[in-house]
Amino acid sequence: MRVDQDTLNTLLAVGIPTVVVVTVGTLLVTLRRGRGGSTPTQDVPPPVPAPEAPFGDPQAPAATPVPVDTAPGTAVPPEAAPDDVAELDRPPVLEVPAPVAGRLTRLRDRLSRSGSPLGTRLLQVLSRDHLTEDDWDELEETLLLADVGAGPTTEIVDALRTRVRVEGLREPGQVRTVLRDQLLAIVDPTLDRSLHTDPGTTADGAAVPAVVLVVGVNGTGKTTTVGKLARVLVADGRTVVLGAADTFRAAAADQLETWGSRVGVRTVRSDKDGADPASVAFDAVRTGKTEAVDVVLVDTAGRLQNKAGLMDELGKITRVLTREAPLAEVLLVLDATTGQNGLNQARVFAEVAGVTGIVLTKLDGTAKGGIVVAVQRELGVPVKLVGLGEGPDDLAPFDPEAFVDALLAQ
């Protein structure tokens, strides 16, 4: 059967319905393809529009109305609008920080995942049947690599040598007990690790908040530590004001304000970048006095310990603050992964700002837990807080016994 263009024109002229013409045209295209005609062949035929439903067909689907005043891609169902408006009117929900008690118990699992924990390696050496000089050298090397320091390492090894020889220790349980005793003694549980955050009084009897100054080098997580410390204090029922005295890093004040807003804590900051940090710190303490809060936490700019100008500025902040209220704590934030370099930082900060406590961050990410011992021995200043992770409540008061048990966890 052959149908050409003249035939189609004749059919149209005599009024044959359009549906028949379309059908014949489709048949023509099919026949030409089958005979290898000039119509290009394709794997996927061109789309054919679906036939419209007959007029007045009761089975035809009803058209969905489209809002005229709504931009494409951003339409919101009318029924959702009232809830959205109500959501905007609601005040932000304040977070409730996790209780402080028991936070350090999480350190056990995290230290065991940090890679070759100190305690595990020590137990492996001490549990051998016969300890040779090579074994004692390995023990000493393990302690030094864990940043315990030369002096404390010698004390631990000498004490272990004496007890192993005198008591003839061989059982794993006995070895573990002796090692625990030695590590606990070297960490020194007698140091005062409490945070002094009780409000005080001036010489004339006026009530003043406890002022806590937080210092440290760049990159140790100082501003984050201040935010987490605010959560620790709020969890203990304290009222807090934050002072954003890091005026050199553009996002520092915003970051601190975000931490404070999550637990309902006010942040005192400057409207200008590069403002005098001592002035901001002073305003924060004065605000704390006016509002009769318990604690004022002052965040400072990160600075290198070998930059004299920055360290002099830190001394200025300290002098200005003490005119308004005595400093209850000066906390130095150290990165536990920096090892012995942290000692150099600690020495300079202690001379300039009078450090009263250490905050060790990233303690869960290193096998070098010996930095706790080294920094305490060097400064006579206790580790008071430890960072256990990146969560908002992963800052815990340092507990020597829980720390040693975490090191010896199997």
* Beta carbons within 8 Å of 137's beta carbon, 6+ residues apart: none
Q: What is the distance between the alpha carbons of residues 280 and 243, in angstroms, rounded to a whole number?
A: 7
Instruction: Map tokens 């990410």 to a residue.
Output: 365
Encoded amino acid at 165, one letter: R
Nearest CA among 375, 355, 380, 353 for reference residue 363: 375
Q: Terminal CA-to-CA distance of the chain, rounded, Å? A: 88
Would you give the DSSP letter of residue 276? -
Binding site: which residues?
216-223, 299-303, 361-364
Binding site for GTP: which residues?
216-223, 299-303, 361-364
Kindly give the confidence (pLDDT) of every residue in the chain, 410 residues in length, as a single tens digit, with 9 standing for 90 and above: 455 555 545 544 544 444 444 444 454 444 444 444 444 444 444 554 444 444 344 444 444 444 444 444 444 444 444 454 444 455 567 888 877 776 766 666 666 565 446 777 888 888 787 888 998 999 898 888 877 888 888 988 998 888 888 877 666 677 788 888 888 998 889 999 999 999 887 777 778 999 999 998 888 889 999 999 999 999 999 999 999 998 888 789 999 999 999 999 999 999 887 789 999 999 999 999 999 999 999 999 877 656 667 778 888 999 999 888 899 999 999 888 777 777 777 788 888 888 999 998 887 665 566 778 888 888 888 999 988 778 888 888 888 888 888 777 65
> Length of the chain in residues, anyone?
410
Q: What is the distance between the alpha carbons of residues 246 and 300, in angstroms, rounded to a whole number?
A: 5
Residue 28 in tokens: 């023509």
Q: What is the pTM of this model?
A: 0.73
Q: Where are the beta strands (DSSP E) in 336-382?
A: 357-361
Q: Where are the beta strands (DSSP E) in 295-387?
A: 295-300, 327-335, 357-361, 383-387
Q: What is the distance between the alpha carbons of residues 352 and 308, in angstroms, rounded to a whole number?
A: 10
Structural domains of the chain in order of their starting residue, each with its CATH number: 5-34 (no CATH), 103-187 (1.20.120.140), 200-355 (3.40.50.300)
Distances (CA, A) of 31 to 9, 26, 163: 19, 9, 102
| Strand 266-268 relative to strand 200-201, pairing | unpaired
Q: What is the distance between the alpha carbons of residues 235 and 66, in angstroms, rounded to a whole number?
A: 51
pLDDT tens digits for range 341-375: 777 777 888 888 889 999 988 876 655 667 788 88
